[in-house]
Amino acid sequence: MNTSIHSFYSLDDSLHSILTAICKSSIEIEKKVRFSALYQLHGNHSSQNTSGDIQKKLDVISNDIMIYYLIHSYACNVLLSEENDEPILVPADKKGKYLVAFDPLDGSSNIDCNAPLGTIFSISENDKNEILLHGNRILMAGYVLYGPNTEMVICYDNKVQRFMLNEEETFCHIGRMIHGEKKIYSINEGNSNHWYADTKMFIDECKKTGYAARYIGSMVADVHRTLLYGGVFSYPADKKNKQGKLRLLYECFPMAKIVESAGGRAIVGHATNQRILDVMPTSIHQRTPIVLGSAKEIEKYVCLSSKL
Ligand code: FDP
């Protein structure tokens, strides 16, 4: 019998309530994702988010679900959503002491073709009601992968655990995340004309040394595979997108926390080998280049780019 996520961790009441809110949200989002084609939930919403992305109907629905449950956890004071232009300040009567940053439905350009999607989140203690917190303050980070199985991966206390959603709508522990060792690179090669020399050199080296290429274009699915099978995932800076594409607070901080706690590394790349978690955010929707994967792969990237 697998242990449920709630029995697995002994958390204080507030963290427990937030984790419950995230479980409830992802179970609802999972149903919307699973039946989206039947209930006309494919396609675009009539708006754009602050990053200029066209919002999908499911982006908006998933965001509303997350906000509702997190506010009603009575444990948060600030919510930062990739889909909201401004921080959400929780009303005084429902306020707690944690900040939660989240991307309610990552990889949403995959919705209409029935490819994997995910929810990404991080939770930080926030006694002073701040908006921009350093990545090193994250207490718990995780993601939910809506794939053939629905799986939640949680990083807490620097350990990464896997939980699978069962028929009774409970996330059940299936084991600790073990880093794979396969030789795989994962990057949007369609951008290669715009790449800087560091990315070009590293990917050329991967090709020369027998790596397989895998790219779903859904960060949760690509990072999950990178963790389980091994290799490297990158959304680098390039000549067109000087800050890459992925968002620091909603995507890169939580994934960096998870990857590092599973024994890997996550760095900015392109002339800086700074840890992603050491980047001090200056705005809630900022983007950052990222290279992440097993420690061995990142060492190889750092070593090659130091020759430039
Ligand atoms: P999407 O645009 O489908 O929401 O940042 C969002 C994201 O997906 C990531 O999940 C994914 O890794 C990346 O963008 C894919 O971007 P490209 O299509 O430019 O490769």
Model pLDDT for residues 82-106, shown as the tens digit of each residue: 999 999 999 999 999 999 999 999 9
Distances (CA, A) of 123 to 83, 90, 108, 117, 159: 17, 15, 22, 21, 15
Share of the chain above pLDDT 70, in %: 97
180 CB under 6 A from ligand 1? no
- Per-residue pLDDT averaged across 221-230, rounded? 98
Backbone angles phi, psi at 81, to 5 degrees: -115, 140
- Per-residue pLDDT averaged across 113-130, rounded? 96
Ligand 1 midpoint to CA 191 (Å):
13
Among 144, 235, 252, the mutation site with the greatest number of ligand 1 atoms within 8 A of its Cβ is 235
Among 215, 246, 292, the mutation site with the greatest number of ligand 1 atoms within 8 A of its Cβ is 246
What pTM was estimated for this model as a whole? 0.95
142 neighbors 261 (Cβ within 8 angstroms): no
Mean per-residue pLDDT of the chain: 94
Of 137, 44, 122, 17, the residue nearest 79 (C-alpha): 122
- pLDDT reading at 148 higher than 80: yes
219 CB under 6 A from ligand 1? yes
